[in-house]
Structure 1
Amino acid sequence: MAKNRFHDGPGPSQRQLRVGELIRRTLSDVLARGDVHDPDLNRLSITVGEVRTSPDLRVATAYVLPLGGQGQDTVLDLLHRNRGELRHIVSKKLTLKFAPELRFKLDETFDQMDDTRRMLSQDEVRRDVEK
């Protein structure tokens, strides 16, 4: 297999981004419709913010957040418990050579944005930015 000579940096390739977005949309649809056979998981509203894939597309890490941010550990446990079924559903809906192994992590981008806003609202920082 030839290496992508344009992708020597740390960022993902266009293919990784495209497949990650397809998996994100599919997972979002599956979780929104309640297609999983676990009633505990179907009761929850879960946002899939991003999916990052490994360079070989065999591992997909989904960054998720429950609605309202409550019960994060429970959501991760339920997703982990149902990852085999979710993997099967994703592989049926997508035409990939391999069904990617699904991993789930909490999406912390909202917390990071809040921290950034808080930092930018500080008097010292605002004064430095205005200079």
Structure 2
Amino acid sequence: MASNRIGRINEEIQRELANLIRTVKDPRVHGLVSITAVDTTADLRYARVYVSVLDKSDVNEVVKGLKSAGGYLRRELGRALQLRYTPELLFERDDSIDKGAHILSLLRDPEVVKPANPANAHIDLDSEE
């Protein structure tokens, strides 16, 4: 039962932080910044926030900017959520979207992925009949 509660709290923190990031005044936090996941400890003292940025060259600067604005984000999060403790926010970069895109490109490459049945190798899946 408690894991379900933690899951709901993670989703609520993710939703609130996604709205609050737009209000951060730090110039390092710019561009399309998205919160991909939040993982809160069972005692609600710490929340690990996974951040993905569209411009990959600035991801380290964006994470530094978010760490710098952590106090502001925590205060605003505490006002929005009705929790006994507002968790301390630990920001980390998330490369899972890049890894997924890389795996998808490998799966679409005919040189890497061979047909499951060699007897069907002559079938062209990309052409429409």
Amino acid at match of 2:64: D
Q: 1:43 to 1:116 in 2, by over 3 A?
A: closer
Q: Return closer, same or farther for 1:39/1:83 CA change in 2, 3 Å cut-off.
A: closer
Aligned residue number for residue 30 of structure 1 = 20
Among 12, 17, 23, which residue is 2:7 paired with? 17
* Percent identity of paired positions between Structure 1 and Structure 2: 28
Structure 1 residue 16: deviation in Å?
1.6
Match of 2:103 in 1: 116
In structure 2, do the counterparts of structure 1 residues 45 and 39 end up closer, same or farther at CA, with 3 Å as the change threshold? same
What's the secondary structure of 2:27's corresponding residue?
helix
Rounded to whole Å, the distance in 1 between the matches of 2:99 and 2:29 is 28
| Equivalent position of 1:85 in the other structure | 72
Q: How many angstroms does 1:97 deviate by? A: 0.9
* Equivalent of residue 38 in structure 2, options 44, 51, 60: 51
RMSD: 2.1
Residue 10 (structure 1) aligns with: none
Aligned length: 117
Instruction: Measure how far apart 1:15 and its partner are.
Output: 1.5
Question: After alignment, is 39-48 or 99-108 more displaced?
Answer: 39-48
Larger radius of gyration: 2
Taking a change above 3 Å as real, the CA distance of residues 120 and 60 of structure 1, as seen in their structure-2 partners, is: same
> Partner residue of 1:63?
50
User: How far off is 1:43 after superposition?
Assistant: 4.3
**Consecutive unaligned residues in structure 1, runs of 5 or more:** 8-12
